Structure 1
Amino acid sequence: MAKHLLLSIALFVVLGLIQVLICNNINLLNVATPFIFIYPLIRLPLTLHKNWTMTIAFAMGLTIDVFSNTQGMNALACVVLAALRDPMIKLYTTHDDEITDPVPSPKSLGIAPYMKYLFSMTLCFCIAITFIEAFTLRNFLVSLYRVIGCTLITFIILVGIDAIANAKNEKRL
């Protein structure tokens, strides 16, 4: 568990730098911005206590906020994501399913449940960050387009990151 936590921290540093330096400057069709820094939060071990998960999520979001000048928006969205993590896992796994690895992955949950989990978590984060940024329902359609665009681009990139990570793990075996 300590090894995975250190790997998650290293992954967050790398993805956080990519987020701040590259992804924050990408704005496809003026509606879609990828949020790749949430990947380590989604992949935190399920055995990690909820208080630690919330603390790590807050620290991750606050770190991105400091370098993106977004004044706590990412911190709040990350904490919302951390709060929804356990219910999402329970939604896509049954009590009969035995999770072999405490880290959510296609190998531990199965491909279909993991993809549903990854998409749902991405959607929840994008809904939270979009409506926190807008802070109004005045331009609801624009916000809805932004949620859809951000969710799709982020999900596609996270699936790619997952494919790269799983390919590296399979090569080691």
Structure 2
Amino acid sequence: MNKTAIKFTIIAMVLVLIQAVVLDNVCLFNVAVPILFIYVIFKLPMTIGINSLLTISFLLGLTIDVFSNSYGMNSLCCTVAAMSRNGIFHLYMPRVDSMPDSVPSMRTMGRYTYLKYLSTMTLIYCTLIFAIEALTFFNVWLIIARIVASTALSLLLMLAVDSLTTRTNEKRL
């Protein structure tokens, strides 16, 4: 295994452990649920094959499903987020050849573009997970509040992790 694979494996194990042990028990104001493990899917190199990406995403979601008793909801949402990742990335970065590194980051994409990419991907995941969890649109405003609050909280946590995992020669928040 190369250095990048080892790095992402360690980050994935740590984030899954944090999600399963700590963040699954946190719900701010009965609305915002922090979702941090999806950061791994968004940060995987863009050069990874679609089959590998979908397999990694599905297994990551399945691991969270096992810990949180959510019966495949996270697996489905992770797989859909992984499917939409390349399209969303190319929406914000039409010229991939200008990227010096294949891993999405503030250094390679720019601060504003990276923030748009992360927030869009997080919004897709949160919309899917809360729509599936509700299984009805009886209380639409509560679902929308949960989606927006969870997206914002998760985005803040992902930016904090991103700031901690960047190298010293990269820009930090």
Q: Structure 1 stretches (4+) deviating beyond 6 angstroms?
A: none
1:38–1:78 contact (8 Å) kept in structure 2: yes
Q: CA deviation at 1:74?
A: 0.5
Q: How does 1:117-132 map to 2 (within 5 A)?
A: 117-132=117-132
Task: Give me the whole-angstrom Cα distance separating, in 1, the residues matched to 2:105 and 2:37.
Answer: 17
Q: Percent identity at matched positions?
A: 38
Task: Between 87-96 and 66-75, report the one with greater CA deviation.
Answer: 87-96
CA contact (8 A) 2:90 2:96 kept: no
TM-score by length of 2: 0.94
Contact 1:5 1:44 in 2 (8 A): no
Name stretches of at least 5 consecutive residues in structure 1 with no aligned partner. none
Q: For 2:168, what is the secondary structure of its paired residue?
A: helix
Flag the structure with higher helix content: 1
Q: What is the RMSD computed on CA atoms of the aligned residues? A: 1.5
Q: Which amino acid aligns with 1:74?
A: N
Partner of 1:98: 98
How many equivalent pairs are there? 170
- Distance in 1 of aligned mates of 2:5 and 2:44: 8
Separation in 2 of the partners of 1:171 and 1:88? 27
1:34 and 1:96 mapped to 2: Cα distance?
A: 31
Measure the CA separation in 2 of the matches of 1:164 and 1:10.
14
For structure 2, which runs of at least 5 residues remain unmatched after alignment? none
Could you tell me which residue of structure 1 aligns to residue 133 of structure 2? Answer: 133
- Residues 58 and 76 in structure 1, CA contact (< 8 A), matched pair in contact too: yes
Matched, 1:21 2:21: yes
TM-score by length of 1: 0.94
